[in-house]
Amino acid sequence: MHKTHIALMAYILVSIACYSPASADLVLQGDIFGFQRDGVCFIRATVLNQGAAAAHNSEAHVEVVDNADGGVILVEDAYLGTIGVGEQKTFEVELPGIGFGDDINTRIKFTWEE
C-alpha cells in the first residue's frame, strides 16, 4: 500500500443574518480528512451549528486550490439540508481529477437559510 497525503486546510467563510436575534452559526468541527476510495480522492468534514436557530437548506461550497499558483482547480457543492441547534453533520465531497500527492488546500464556505 503506497502511503501519500493531501495537504488540506479549511477557510471558513460564514454569513450570518445580523437582524435576526436567534441565528444559526455553522462552523467546521474538527479536521478535514482526505482519503482515497477506488482511486478517487474525497474529503470528509463535519459541520456544527453552534447558533441559536436551525440552519435550513444548508450547503458546503468546497474550492480546491493549487498551492503552486493559488488558482482554484475544482469547485464542488454538498447539500447538507437542515442542521438543528447543536447538531453536527458529516459530509463527503468527491474530488475528481485530484491526485493523492497533489499539493492543494481546501476552502469551505457554508451557506444556509433561517
Query: Under 8 Å CB-to-CB from 80, ≥6 apart: which residues?
Result: 47, 58, 59, 60, 89, 91, 110
Please, which pLDDT band fits residue 91 given cuts at 50, 70 and 90? very high
Q: Quick: pLDDT tens for 27-76.
A: 888 788 888 888 888 899 999 999 999 999 999 999 999 888 989 999 99
Which pLDDT belongs to residue 92? 93
Sorted by where each begins, the domain ranges of the chain are 12-113
| Model confidence, pTM | 0.74
Which pLDDT belongs to residue 77? 94
CATH homologous superfamily for the domain 12-113:
Immunoglobulins (2.60.40.10)
8 contacts 106 by C-beta, under 8 angstroms? yes
Say what percent of the chain tops pLDDT 70.
Answer: 81
42 contacts 8 by C-beta, under 8 angstroms? no
Give the closest residue to 55 by CA, choosing from 92, 90, 27, 30: 27
